[in-house]
Structure 1
Amino acid sequence: MTADLMAVVLLLAIAAYTCAGGTDYGAGFWDLTAGGSERGRRPRWLIDHAMAPVWEVNNVWLIFVFVIMWTGFPTLFQAVFSAMWLPLALAAVGLVLRGGGFAFRKVVRRLTERRLYGAVFALSSVVTPFFLGAAVGGVASGRVQPGTQASTDAWANPTSLMFGLLAVAATAFLGAVFLTGDARRFDSPDLVAYFRRRGLLSLTGLVVLVVITLFVTRDDAPHIWHGLTHGAGLAFGIAAGAASVTAAWLLVRRPGGWARASAVGAVACAVLAWGMAQRPYLLPPSMTVAEGAGASTTLTWLAFVTLVALVIVVPAVVFLYWLDTRGDLEELSEADLRRGGDPESGGGAGPA
């Protein structure tokens, strides 16, 4: 019972990271495709302002995923990281380079250095979700089993390729929807239209990739295909489709909080559809949840620690997002600093 509970928590943590981290990866995707220095100046300005206050906090869900995997399901952790060490290592390198590129491009002065760090940030924002998706696709296709040696076939196969492309498309969709809302918050109608078009375009591409993936998995990953077309997997898939249609409608009518919630719901339901399609296996078709679970005492303590962590983390994350939507986390301007760092103060020490 505890093993099943922690498997559900693991799936929810993956969904949380897909949505939260995926939004930031999507912003990087649109940074990459924004164009040259002049044409891409305004979109990149919005991306910097929208991401800066909250971009690092989203990795907390990735930490949840790793801790639950190696503590609650050590056999699963060993099998996945042994067979998938190369794509996961590339994803980890991309994660580090992405953070460094985003941080350094905001502080360097030379244009060439800004372009270099900006390119590192943007490219890593595409590479990282692709390889994470490819690793998930390798697991879903049944190519990872206990004792499986690392090989190209484990992650460079039709299902892995489609899952990688789906990950990139989903992050692009999330990023565009959130940036549309941020453009509206910053009162930039030109950028609202800019990112609205990209949100609808990325959603169209995502739908096409989903259809292709269903055809691919029918032959390459029959267990997952059956799960996606029957039972709970099908139900969550339908929910993802309904949420996508709602997000598109809201994006056209009035982009904002409800459009964001619908987009997040669409991607989260898609992740849950994969999880439901794969059950009762952690590694289909060789390792069930019960077979991959750790000791019952360990799982009990893990459940308790996870509950405590969520009670501490979730309110803090919600509060951070609330401050961001209010605009309370905006960077201080030079004028603010000259006034002593108080934006509300009309006086203070000005330049001599």
Structure 2
Amino acid sequence: MSTVVAIVLMLALAAYAVFGGADFGAGFWDLIAGGPERGAEPRNVIERSIGPVWEANHVWLIFVFVVTWTAFPPAYESIVLTMFVPLTLAALGIVFRGASFAFRKAVVTLRFRRIFGAAFALSSVLVPFCMGAIAGGIASGHVPSGGKAGDPVDSWLNPTSVVTGVLAVAVAAYLAAVYLVWDARHFREFAMGEYFRRRAVVSAVVAGVVAIVDLFVLNSKASHVFDGLMSRALPTAILSVLCGAGALVLLMRYAARGARVLAILAVALIIVSWGIAQWPYLLPVSLKIKEAAAPTATLVALVVAVGLAVLIVVPGFVLLYVLDQRAMLPEEGTEDVGDRPLDASAG
């Protein structure tokens, strides 16, 4: 049963990387879009793209936390005690990012729009870096088992963590650019489609280079994960590379729909490969999944709860994304017909 829950946790992490990662990546492109005049058009595309769904994406992160502390409490305790600094920074980044995204559209003066825009964009880079740094710290064995706290600084500012954090930012930027190519063309903004297509190609190359550097760092600092990538996780890792390369080829050929599908698979398979490579440990190489698992009754109840959540929550997510892709959702801050008084149409 612990294996089933671990697989569920890995899939939830992959979902957060695919949906939340693209959300953060859009903030990266917002950061480097340029001044108010030069960056106005790409920022409009970004706001329209993430506006209806940005709040929903963090449900996956909450799900990951709940499953981890319920199913694997010893691992959760060790991770939180050791990684409280990047976890706190990520939480603050998520809060500031959401508030700034909302306030930026509400304020009138250019000065405050710049302030909130900068807070939104910088937080969009900080959060994925912290998430990647946490993953790198866990993979390189900087989180001790037994509910003990590791070094609060070296645990997430070590070579593996830093490179993995940079990789997380690069992958998020790549995924967001691919999404934005589709969104821009969907609304027949072909100039913006070309704008983000070029950035998607560049970010794909950058992410590939950083991934290669990360492999060398893993070989030196996280040998268990590196050995797993080169053995049991090799098929999924190769498939991730092939999907990424295929997405790049389709981008070069202006096939945005197919590129988006392959980019999603490439990013999801990175998470799956990491999980398989780390197997059977939650904390390499000190705490195995079975050793960290809660009692069987707790795991069974959790699996039942997850199954109910899939039946109840997932259809709502699917509907939200379908309506968003079909441009059937009202923009934030605009009047919806359903909000008007009943006698308004009579006049």
TM-score bracket, shorter-length normalisation: over 0.9
Counterpart residue type for residue 311 of structure 2: V
Query: What's the CA shift for 1:151?
Result: 2.5
Q: Does 1:238 align with 2:238?
A: yes
Query: What's the CA shift for 1:340?
Result: 5.9
Q: Does 1:158 align with 2:156?
A: no
Which has the larger displacement, 191-200 or 250-259? 250-259
Contact 1:49–1:330, Cα closer than 8 Å, also in 2: no
| CA displacement 1:261-281 (0-9 Å, x = unmatched) | 111100000111111110000
Aligned residue for 1:153, secondary structure, equals: coil
Query: What's the CA shift for 1:331?
Result: 2.2
Q: Structure 1 residues 334 and 6 mapped into 2: Cα distance closer, same or farther (>3 Å)?
A: closer
Q: Name the CA distance, whole Å, in 1 between partners of 2:346 and 2:252.
A: 47
Query: What's the CA shift for 1:186?
Result: 1.1
Partner of 2:290: 290
Q: Name the CA distance, whole Å, in 2 between partners of 1:42 and 1:295.
A: 54
Contact 1:84–1:135, Cα closer than 8 Å, also in 2: yes
Counterpart residue type for residue 7 of structure 2: V
Contact 1:176–1:199, Cα closer than 8 Å, also in 2: yes
Contact 1:162–1:209, Cα closer than 8 Å, also in 2: yes
Partner of 2:321: 321
| CA displacement 1:302-339 (0-9 Å, x = unmatched) | 000011101111111111110011110142897987x9
Q: Does 1:269 align with 2:269?
A: yes
Which has the larger displacement, 18-27 or 311-320? 311-320
Q: Does 1:257 align with 2:290?
A: no
Aligned residue for 2:105, secondary structure, equals: coil
Q: Name the CA distance, whole Å, in 1 between partners of 2:284 and 2:331.
A: 48
Query: What's the CA shift for 1:195?
Result: 0.1
Query: What's the CA shift for 1:252?
Result: 2.4
Counterpart residue type for residue 312 of structure 2: I
Q: Does 1:198 align with 2:195?
A: no
Query: What's the CA shift for 1:123?
Result: 0.3
Q: Within 5 Å, which residues of 2 pair with 1:159-238?
A: 159-231=160-232, 233-238=233-238
Aligned residue for 2:282, secondary structure, equals: strand
Query: What's the CA shift for 1:173?
Result: 0.5
Query: What's the CA shift for 1:258?
Result: 2.4
Partner of 1:344: none
Counterpart residue type for residue 72 of structure 2: F
Q: Structure 1 residues 336 and 129 mapped into 2: Cα distance closer, same or farther (>3 Å)?
A: closer
Q: Name the CA distance, whole Å, in 1 between partners of 2:181 and 2:228.
A: 34
Partner of 1:19: 18
Question: Following TM superposition, where does structure 1 have runs of at least 4 consecutive aligned residues deviating by more than 4 angstroms?
Answer: 332-337, 347-350
Query: What's the CA shift for 1:241?
Result: 0.5
Contact 1:13–1:64, Cα closer than 8 Å, also in 2: yes
Contact 2:52–2:332, Cα closer than 8 Å, also in 1: no
Which has the larger displacement, 207-216 or 145-154? 145-154
Partner of 1:67: 66
Q: Name the CA distance, whole Å, in 2 between partners of 1:336 and 1:217.
A: 51
Q: Name the CA distance, whole Å, in 2 between partners of 1:188 and 1:101.
A: 26
Task: Give the count of matched residue pairs.
Answer: 343
Query: What's the CA shift for 1:153?
Result: 1.3
Q: Identify unmatched segments of 5+ residues in structure 1.
A: 342-346
| CA displacement 1:234-286 (0-9 Å, x = unmatched) | 11110110110111122222343322111110000011111111000000000
Q: What RMSD over aligned residues (CA atoms) do the two structures have, in Å?
A: 1.9
